[in-house]
């Protein structure tokens, strides 16, 4: 269905935020495709503005006794991923003068939509030195890539869905693909002049070098000797993102097709399952890949960076 994503903003957000999120969402849909109704709900820092947005959200989908129920859930600050919890993150970032943000795909299956939520994307307002708008733009692309992934298994039961996009709870493909594709796409569009930012954000290779360093450090400190397929949301979570991006970059480079996930892997995931779609897209087994990738991780960084597009 040819829908562009829809965004909803708390009333305390600036035009910079509104325009930034809207452009990033349109860009994501143009680059990654359209997958039915996608709603991106953006919270600010003001509590009353958040409560108004929550009310708008609940009234959009619920009536009768479900309406106060929706409100009570989404205004519960202790509840992870409640809308008010996202508002708190933004409020605390300002209070503590620390750049903290969060965004996520929070389901929507029962309503036939993709429901995404974001805390205050302050980088669009240039609030913190060294954190330009590109960071928030990248986050929107990352979250939208989860729409691509989840769309590929959308109408399956929860367990089957999870086992296909995160087999055994492993997150390297889910988060690594979202993170790599978001970064690659952003740098590609900057490089070819499609989008323009005031300040530079460095290069894709610099970002990937940081991910290699951070990923290895994270393993050393938190889960020594863990392999790519052992990272979960509970164990070595951030290595799942950082080295997961490298795993995906490795696979993309192997088949020399930056669109392989969109063209082949995800369109076949539902039918063939993770292993089958992986074999089809990349021409070898996950077992063989995990072994090769461990060897790749031992190479000097200069050699590793050769697989990353120079943009
Ligand atoms: Zn993610």
Enter the DSSP assignment of 220: H
Q: How far is the CA of 268 from the centre of ligand 1 (A)?
A: 21
pLDDT band at 1; cut points 50, 70, 90: low
- What Å distances lie between residue 203 and 151, 206, 209, 212, 305, CA to CA? 30, 5, 10, 14, 12
User: Which residue reads 């993102």 in tokens?
Assistant: 241
Q: How far is the CA of 63 from the centre of ligand 1 (A)?
A: 31
Phi-psi region of 128 (alpha: psi -120 to 50; beta: other; left: phi over 0): beta
Q: How far is the CA of 89 from the centre of ligand 1 (A)?
A: 17
Q: Is the separation of the CB atoms in 113 and 122 below 8 Å?
A: no
Q: How far is the CA of 199 from the centre of ligand 1 (A)?
A: 25
Residue 1: strand, helix, or coil: coil
Q: How far is the CA of 41 from the centre of ligand 1 (A)?
A: 16
pTM: predicted TM-score of the whole model, two decimal places: 0.97
pLDDT band at 2; cut points 50, 70, 90: confident
Q: How far is the CA of 65 from the centre of ligand 1 (A)?
A: 33
Q: Of 20, 204, 210, 207, nearest to 123 (Cα)?
A: 20
Predicted pLDDT at 73: 97
Q: At what angle do helices 15-32 and 172-191 cross, to 10 degrees?
A: 100
Residue 34: strand, helix, or coil: coil
Angle 213-103-35 from CA coordinates, rounded to 5°: 105
Q: Is the separation of the CB atoms in 208 and 301 below 8 Å?
A: no
Enter the DSSP assignment of 234: S
Distance (Å, rounded) from C-alpha 237 to C-alpha 177? 14
Mean pLDDT in residue range 211-234: 96
Residue 81, token pair as written in the block: 């991923």
Render pLDDT for 30-84 as a digit per residue (tens, 0 to 9): 999 999 899 999 999 999 999 999 999 999 999 999 999 999 999 999 999 999 9
Q: What are the residue boundaries of the structural domains of the chain, listed by start?
A: 6-151, 158-305
Render pLDDT for 139-168 as a digit per residue (tens, 0 to 9): 999 999 999 999 999 989 999 999 999 999
Q: At what angle do helices 83-95 and 47-61 cross, to 10 degrees?
A: 160
Q: How far is the CA of 103 from the centre of ligand 1 (A)?
A: 8
Answer whether residue 198 shows pLDDT above 80.
Answer: yes
Q: How far is the CA of 139 from the centre of ligand 1 (A)?
A: 9
Q: Is the separation of the CB atoms in 141 and 33 below 8 Å?
A: no
């Amino acid at each position: 269905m040819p829908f562009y994503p829809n965004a909803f903003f708390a009333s305390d957000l600036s035009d910079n935020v509104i325009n930034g999120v809207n452009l990033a969402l349109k860009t994501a849909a143009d680059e990654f495709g359209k997958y039915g109704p996608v709603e991106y709900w953006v919270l600010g820092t003001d509590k009353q503005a958040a409560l108004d947005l929550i009310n708008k959200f609940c009234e959009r989908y619920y009536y009768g006794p479900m309406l106060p129920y929706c409100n009570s859930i989404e205004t519960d600050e202790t509840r992870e991923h409640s809308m008010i919890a996202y508002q708190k993150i933004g409020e605390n970032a300002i209070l503590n003068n620390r750049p903290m943000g969060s965004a996520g795909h929070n389901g929507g299956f029962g309503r036939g939509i993709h429901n995404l939520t974001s805390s205050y994307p302050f980088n669009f307002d240039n609030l913190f030195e060294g954190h330009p708008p590109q960071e928030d733009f990248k986050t929107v692309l990352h979250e939208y890539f989860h729409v691509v992934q989840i769309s590929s298994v959308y109408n399956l039961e929860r367990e089957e869905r999870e086992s296909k996009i995160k087999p055994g709870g492993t997150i390297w493909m889910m988060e690594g693909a979202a993170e790599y594709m978001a970064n690659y796409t952003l740098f590609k569009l900057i490089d070819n002049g499609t989008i323009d930012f005031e300040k530079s954000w460095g290069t894709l290779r610099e970002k990937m070098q940081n991910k290699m360093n951070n990923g290895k450090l994270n393993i050393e400190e938190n889960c020594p000797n863990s392999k790519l397929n052992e990272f979960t949301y509970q164990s070595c979570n951030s290595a799942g993102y950082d080295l997961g991006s490298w795993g995906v970059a490795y696979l993309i480079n192997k088949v020399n097709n930056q669109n392989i996930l969109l063209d082949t892997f995800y369109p076949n995931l539902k039918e063939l399952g993770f292993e089958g779609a992986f074999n089809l897209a990349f021409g070898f087994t996950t077992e063989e890949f995990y072994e090769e990738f461990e060897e790749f991780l031992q190479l000097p960084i200069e050699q590793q960076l050769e697989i990353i597009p120079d943009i």
